[in-house]
Amino acid sequence: MFVVITGGSKCGKSSMAEKIIMQYDCKRYYIATMEPFGKEAEDAILRHRSMRAGKRFETIERYRDVGGLALSEDSAILLECVANLCANEMFGGEAADTDLLILRILEDMKRLANGAAVFVAVTSQVGGDGIRYTRETMAYMELLGAVNEGLARMADVVIESVYGLPLFLKGEIEIGGRG
């Protein structure tokens, strides 16, 4: 099962993703893609670690090339977050053609999903504010938009988290503990 959860900032995406993963009694991986740059990033990392405490996640900090991970077959994988991964790949790695970068990221996601009982990828919505940003930021937003579109096509289930409530855009899945 391949699930994509999207939404705005601090809308309950992570909590929803964890509730889905917690329904699976198998090896659980949390792939953390946020590089710890600055206090805000460090605070977010600490918040997410405390959310996962006691939930039997093995945390893997991997900022690029997530498809190169060798994980247990039939595991439950939560990747947080595609938006960070795209930024890391675009700005922190070797310069690459955007189209090739999109294909590589999508292939990495497919590789992870194919080896898992459930793969939940958390991503973010950007660009809805209508503001015209710098060329670099616009290129990043276009990259993330293309990756998100590709993920939505590949996924079995696509959920938008709206105020912590699931809005199913494609397919359905039980979300443990939702009220």
Q: Would 175 be classed as within a structural domain?
A: no
Q: Specify burial of residue 150 (Cβ count, 10 A radius: 0-12, 13-18, 19+).
A: middle
Instruction: Name the token pair of 12.
Output: 């309950």
| Structural domain for 111, as ranges | 2-169
**pLDDT (tens digit, 9 = 90+) per residue, 83-124?**
999 999 999 877 678 999 999 999 999 999 999 999 999 999
Range 154-158, long-range pairs (CB < 8 A, 24+ positions):
154/2, 154/106, 154/109, 154/110, 154/113, 155/2, 155/3, 155/4, 155/121, 156/1, 156/2, 156/3, 157/1, 157/2, 157/3, 157/4, 158/3, 158/4, 158/6
Q: Would 156 be classed as within a structural domain?
A: yes
Q: Specify burial of residue 13 (Cβ count, 10 A radius: 0-12, 13-18, 19+).
A: buried
Q: Would 179 be classed as within a structural domain?
A: no
Instruction: Name the token pair of 125.
Output: 């919505």
Q: Would 58 be classed as within a structural domain?
A: yes
| Sign of the alpha-carbon torsion through 141, 169, 18, 60 | negative
CA 151, CA 2: separation in Å to the nearest integer?
Answer: 9
What are the residues whose beta carbons fall under 8 Å from the beta carbon of 133, sequence distance 6 or more? 141
Q: How many domains does the chain have?
A: 1
Q: Would 48 be classed as within a structural domain?
A: yes
What pLDDT is recorded for position 54?
85
CATH of the domain at 77: 3.40.50.300
What pLDDT is recorded for position 177?
65
Q: Would 157 be classed as within a structural domain?
A: yes
pTM metric for this prediction: 0.91
**How would residue 178 be classed by pLDDT, with cut points 50, 70 and 90?**
very low
Q: Would 178 be classed as within a structural domain?
A: no
Q: Would 164 be classed as within a structural domain?
A: yes
What pLDDT is recorded for position 79?
98
